[in-house]
Structure 1
Amino acid sequence: MATRLFEGKAHASYYQKFRFSPPQEIQDLIFSYMGERLTKPYGFAVDVGCGTGQSTRILVPYFEKILGTDISPAQIDEAEKADDFPNLTYSACPAEELPVDDASVDLVTACAAVHWFDTEKFLKEVDRILKPRGCLAFFTYVPDMEVHYKDRSEQLTKVFSKVQDALDPYVNDKVYHVKTGYKDIFDAIPYTDKKRVEKITVKMPMTVAEVLGLMQTFSMYQSFLKAEPEKAKELVVATEQRFLEILEVSTTEAKVELWMNNVCLLASKPE
């Protein structure tokens, strides 16, 4: 059964505000891979574990029909409020039980989500709904993030690392898949036409406020907040203060760069 850690309305609201779309580097990988195996126009894409829709919206220009699914009604509600595309719909449902016909889908995506699913059941469901030669793309960022700004990158990254250390006791066991770059999930994909691309480094301009907001979307922060609300809030305040001290600024609108490593799994169902 899928793990459910993104259910609350407040968490979904943060998710909508601070989570970002998949980087262009990953989008290019996916559509290049698809382009070698399928012919346009592409018909139907399903984005599973879509959260508030950041990874779903990127599919809109490429497909006649897109479905975003998530087990959390609160996440789906936020996604629906943010979107008004005629070819995009959302559904609250488990990743392992998708409301989709057999052999009807050209592409299944999942952004920073597959590790929460029941891998065996989910991959069987993906195989059920994919057309012959249909593709899957599962991708995620990995935890070794760095915060960069001129000659202060080392100091800023140390602060962010301390945050991750503080949250470590609240990390769910399934995050193991992320830490190992989805190796086990890749091995479980039953298709021979597959590849795993790692160390996709993305440099994202962000404000300090956005870095702090992103931190609060993490499942381990939400678990910390639930267990020890005052300490969790103090962690955010202390981190903000240290960032501002190092940057020698007084506003959280100050710009930095968040460097993230990503991994992407690509595969195609045989004919």
Structure 2
Amino acid sequence: MKDNFSKQASEYSKFRPQYPDEMTNYLVSFVKNKGVALDIATGNGQIAHKLSRFFETVYGIDISQNQLDNAISGENIIYKIAAAENTFFKNQEFDLITVAQAVHWFDFDSFYKEIYRILKPEGIFAVLGYGLFSTNADSDKILRNFYYNIVGQYWDAERKYLDENYSTIPFPFDEIVAEHFENNLTWTFEELIGYLETWSATQHYISKNNQKPLDLIYNDLKASWQKSDKKVTFPLLLRIGKLK
């Protein structure tokens, strides 16, 4: 598993969009027993924190200590360093296992083998994520130029799975057809820029060129944003399955 987000962990925690309660409530409705849940590649812990309202104990694992240091705390949440493909948990330990906006970074074969080992026979496994957001037409034009042209070559190859809405990832489970959700937000310009700075492609561009790619669109985007309603819509991705 790659670690593209440690160095901007505090920004990731601050600017990455949350998943709406409607979506997590829907997911949890498929889980019979609310004993122990696991959020893999938990990052800032937002999913772990949401699950902590339903489960007796929630574990959140990540390969980045910096991410875990910025994660949302809770009395029944336990954060640990661990790789998705090689955890320290017992066999058949979890009623629910989630992975949000991260499954595309994993070695699928070894990851799914681990899920089959640690998920209870009646447990639920879920992949969550979000695609490229949309906003007003003028800002969208600027942002899509940024996404595809300015930082396009700096996306890791695995990004294609998100562009394909996780429809092409291996998913060796009995799949439950899930409802579709979206996340509707209103952002300040600072929140918009903060989110764009958390993109792995933005950080790769900076590392390679020693300059910020956002500088290339900053003024045009700011002018566009100030004239807009500042509304943002993220398409949400959700795949839910049981062990075969």
Q: Match for 1:118: what amino acid?
A: D
SS of residue paired to 1:230: coil
In structure 2, the partner of 1:181 is: 165
Q: Does 1:191 align with 2:173?
A: yes
In structure 2, the partner of 1:245 is: 223
Q: Does 1:116 align with 2:90?
A: no
SS of residue paired to 1:264: strand
Q: Does 1:62 align with 2:64?
A: no
In structure 2, the partner of 1:202 is: 183
Contact 2:182-2:233 at 8 Å conserved across structures: yes
Q: Residue 208 of structure 1: CA displacement?
A: 1.5
Task: Report the number of matched residues.
Answer: 243
Q: Residue 228 of structure 1: CA displacement?
A: 1.5
Distance 1:196-1:167 versus aligned 2 partners, 3 A rule = farther
Q: Match for 1:177: what amino acid?
A: Y
CA distance in 2, matches of 1:197, 1:157: 28
Q: Match for 1:52: what amino acid?
A: N
In structure 2, the partner of 1:257 is: 231
In structure 2, the partner of 1:216 is: 197
Q: Which runs of 5+ in 2 are unaligned?
A: none
In structure 2, the partner of 1:103 is: 92
1:37-56 equivalences under 5 Å are: 38-39=32-33, 42-56=34-48
Bigger CA drift: 195-204 or 211-220? 195-204
Query: Structure 2-normalised TM-score?
Result: 0.92
Q: Residue 234 of structure 1: CA displacement?
A: 1.7
In structure 2, the partner of 1:168 is: 152
Distance 1:208-1:103 versus aligned 2 partners, 3 A rule = same
CA distance in 1, matches of 2:63, 2:225: 40
Q: Does 1:76 align with 2:72?
A: no
CA distance in 1, matches of 2:103, 2:232: 23
Q: Residue 196 of structure 1: CA displacement?
A: 5.0
Contact 1:171-1:220 at 8 Å conserved across structures: yes
Query: Structure 1-normalised TM-score?
Result: 0.83
CA distance in 2, matches of 1:168, 1:198: 30
Distance 1:96-1:48 versus aligned 2 partners, 3 A rule = same
Q: Match for 2:2: what amino acid?
A: T
CA distance in 2, matches of 1:127, 1:248: 49
- The alignment yields a C-alpha RMSD, in angstroms, of 1.9
Q: In percent, how many aligned pairs have the same letter?
A: 26
Distance 1:248-1:14 versus aligned 2 partners, 3 A rule = closer
Q: Which runs of 5+ in 1 are unaligned?
A: 148-152
1:130-145 equivalences under 5 Å are: 130-143=119-132, 145=133
Q: Match for 1:168: what amino acid?
A: G
SS of residue paired to 2:99: strand
Q: Residue 28 of structure 1: CA displacement?
A: 3.1
Match of 2:118 among 121, 129, 133: 129
Q: Residue 198 of structure 1: CA displacement?
A: 7.3
Distance 1:28-1:86 versus aligned 2 partners, 3 A rule = closer
Q: Between Structure 1 and Structure 2, which shows a larger proportion of helix residues? A: 1
Q: Match for 1:189: what amino acid?
A: F
Q: Residue 246 of structure 1: CA displacement?
A: 2.5
Distance 1:248-1:63 versus aligned 2 partners, 3 A rule = closer
